[in-house]
Amino acid sequence: MRIFSALNGLLLAGAAAAQSCSLQSNESQAVNYGYALSYFLDRFYSSVPVNQTFLSSSQNGSNSQYFTNFQGIQRQNRLGVRAVQQLGSKLSGWTPQNCSFTFPSASDADSFVQNALHLESTVAGAYIALAGYTQAPEASFLWARLAAEHTAHAYYIASQNQTVLFPTNSSSLVPAYSPGYVLSNGTGPGQLGSYFQGCVTAPPVPCGQTLFIGPLTATLGANVSASAAASSSASLSASATPSPSFARRFF
């Protein structure tokens, strides 16, 4: 009987552990933030006449298949919005927060392409970091998947505008940007705060500690203010040469 009691205790402990890994209400800020990232890009592409005539006037527009590929990128962004909505539907009472964004101006096709590269690479880095701000595997899986998606978008766009994407002197993986830094005011690499206009807030730090993002890994440390965490993560990420050289070329 003692053996069965012990087994029952282990099964209950396992069930409790599994339950604690499910999506909880305290993840709602992370889901809101993740949704805002995808929705922002979806609205960005909808704000520009992404058609054959407009894109053909860009550099390499005649042989880059911009029109077909940007149509596909738009489609992928819409699927990203839908995916985060499906994740959010598992949170009781969660509703999508459709922000009113501003967007970088694009006077011609070339500036639009550069803006798309900047935003795609920033959102990719934002999703990479967001995976460290959740404890639910289904959420971290989606953030990792979206990070890969937008990294692919950024590298495709960059490949049409430069020859070297992987410099031999790299000392960093793909840049990652903490939520606090992404939402800080500015329009530089990794920053979207000027476009978001305070619509969403950064999710709470994981495990009550600060996630410091370095060029290769991230580490948990003593908790500090959101602004200090953002600036620390940003400075660590910027301390090494970013792997994708397009981050230096355009910005």
Domain boundaries, the chain: 25-164+173-226
Q: Please give the sequence-ordered ranges of beta strands (E in DSSP) within the chain, or none if there are none.
A: 210-213, 218-221
Q: How far apart are the C-alpha atoms of 69 and 58, rounded to whole Å?
A: 14
Quick one: pLDDT at residue 20? 64
Segment 163-175 shows an average pLDDT of 86
Kindly tell me if the per-residue pLDDT of 162 is higher than 80.
no
CA distances from 18 to 102, 136, 168, 226 (A): 41, 10, 44, 30
Segment 170-187 shows an average pLDDT of 91
Segment 203-231 shows an average pLDDT of 76
Global pTM? Answer: 0.82
Q: How far apart are the C-alpha atoms of 60 and 235, rounded to whole Å?
A: 35
Segment 49-60 shows an average pLDDT of 78
* CATH fold for domain 25-164+173-226: Ferritin (1.20.1260)
Quick one: pLDDT at residue 170? 86
Kindly tell me if the per-residue pLDDT of 25 is higher than 50.
yes
Kindly tell me if the per-residue pLDDT of 91 is higher than 50.
yes
Least-confidence region, from 5-19, 51-65, 190-204:
5-19
Polymer length of the chain: 251
Quick one: pLDDT at residue 60? 67
CA distances from 224 to 183, 193, 233 (A): 17, 20, 12
Give which of 130, 118, 128, 132 is closest to 149, Cα–Cα: 128
| Between 11 and 9, the higher pLDDT residue | 9
pLDDT, the chain, mean = 81
Q: How far apart are the C-alpha atoms of 200 and 193, rounded to whole Å?
A: 9
Least-confidence region, from 53-62, 112-121, 175-184:
53-62
Confidence at 88, pLDDT banded by 50, 70, 90: very high
Long-range contacts from 77-83, C-beta under 8 angstroms, 24+ separation = 77/38, 77/41, 77/42, 77/45, 78/42, 80/38, 80/41, 80/42, 80/146, 80/149, 81/35, 81/38, 81/39, 81/42, 83/38, 83/142, 83/145, 83/146
